[in-house]
């Protein structure tokens, strides 16, 4: 099975593929709802590798998830093989911080140029992962299967992506259109997956949007289910077995061997 066939099988896409908008939408949704966001490797002391073989083995063969550098590399590889015109970008994460906070370029996203329109694609932003491509257009509310997003231009060539949470627009990250390359991912990836103070090293996080419009989010032992109607169900996981069940059954992660010692540190 070649790489593209293996990828399409992993995300459950059985329809046609072509460098067109219906394919881009279908693959973005299928990828986001099938391959979870998770940081089990950094949390358990295993550095994240970004070489193509490692990303394919982890996210396709081993049934795992990952974070932005892995997710968006895998999707970009598939899009390139299909014939899309893609590019890589980096962003400064602002989720949970003031809009004027100065943060490092620690997030990877993609641009796709199609029929004269530039789209942003990002299947690796945890609880606010995009489940559809969005157009690079200022102040345009754009509906996705999992919420409404918009892009705000800063007037000097930069953009802020925002998600509408109930009646409030919240910034996820800011970025510009400077092209980046695989080598540019290595330093932030190494920092995020190995630096002792990195939030991916110190805490457990996982997330997955579901095909029925919900968003599932795990932070440490706290599991939340966000419904399309705005309701949120929350529960505190009290045992390692409960935690394993949520990771495997809800977030669809094939748990790696030896993960229990890291999970027990949360109790």
pLDDT at 1: 47
| Per-residue pLDDT tens digits for 164-176 | 998 899 999 999 9
Q: What is the CA radius of gyration of the chain?
A: 18
Catalytic sites, residue numbers:
68, 107, 122
**In this model, does residue 157 exceed pLDDT 90?**
no
pLDDT at 155: 82
Mean pLDDT score of the chain: 96
Which pTM was predicted?
A: 0.96
The answer to whether 73 touches 13, Cβ cutoff 8 Å, is no
Residue partners of 19: CB distance under 8 A and separation at least 6: 82, 83, 84, 85, 114
Alpha helices in 14-168 (DSSP H): 21-34, 40-43, 52-56, 68-82
| CA distances for 64 relative to 44, 53, 59, 204, angstroms | 14, 14, 5, 15
**Which fold is adopted by the domain 1-267?**
Arylamine N-acetyltransferase fold (3.30.2140)
Report strand pairing: 117-121 vs 142-144.
Answer: unpaired
Residues 157-190: b if buried by 16+ CB within 10 A, e if exposed: eebbbbbeeeeeeebbbbbeeeeeeeebbeebbe
């Amino acid at each position: 099975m070649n790489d593209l066939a293996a990828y399409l099988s992993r995300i459950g896409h059985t329809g046609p593929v072509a460098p067109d908008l219906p394919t881009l939408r279908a693959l973005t949704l299928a990828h986001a709802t099938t391959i979870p966001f998770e940081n089990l490797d950094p949390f358990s002391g295993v550095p994240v590798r970004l070489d193509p073989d490692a990303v394919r083995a982890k996210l396709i063969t081993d049934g795992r998830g990952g974070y932005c550098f892995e997710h968006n590399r895998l999707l970009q590889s598939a899009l390139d093989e299909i014939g899309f015109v893609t590019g890589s970008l980096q962003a400064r994460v602002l989720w949970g911080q003031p809009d004027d906070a100065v943060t490092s370029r620690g997030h990877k996203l993609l641009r796709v140029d199609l029929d004269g329109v530039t789209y942003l694609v990002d299947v690796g932003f945890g609880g606010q992962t995009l489940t559809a491509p969005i157009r690079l257009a200022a102040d345009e509310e754009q509906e996705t299967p999992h919420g409404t997003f918009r892009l705000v231009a800063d007037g000097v060539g930069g953009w802020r992506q925002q998600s509408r949470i109930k009646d409030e627009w919240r910034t996820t990250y800011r970025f510009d259109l400077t092209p980046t390359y695989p080598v540019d991912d290595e330093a932030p990836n190494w920092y995020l997956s190995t630096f002792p103070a990195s939030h991916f090293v110190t805490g457990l996080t996982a997330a997955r949007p579901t095909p029925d419009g919900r968003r599932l989010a795990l932070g440490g032992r706290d599991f939340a289910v966000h419904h399309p109607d705005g309701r949120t169900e929350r529960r505190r996981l009290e045992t390692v077995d409960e935690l394993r069940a949520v990771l495997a059954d809800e977030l669809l992660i094939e748990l790696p061997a030896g993960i229990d010692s890291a999970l027990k540190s949360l109790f």
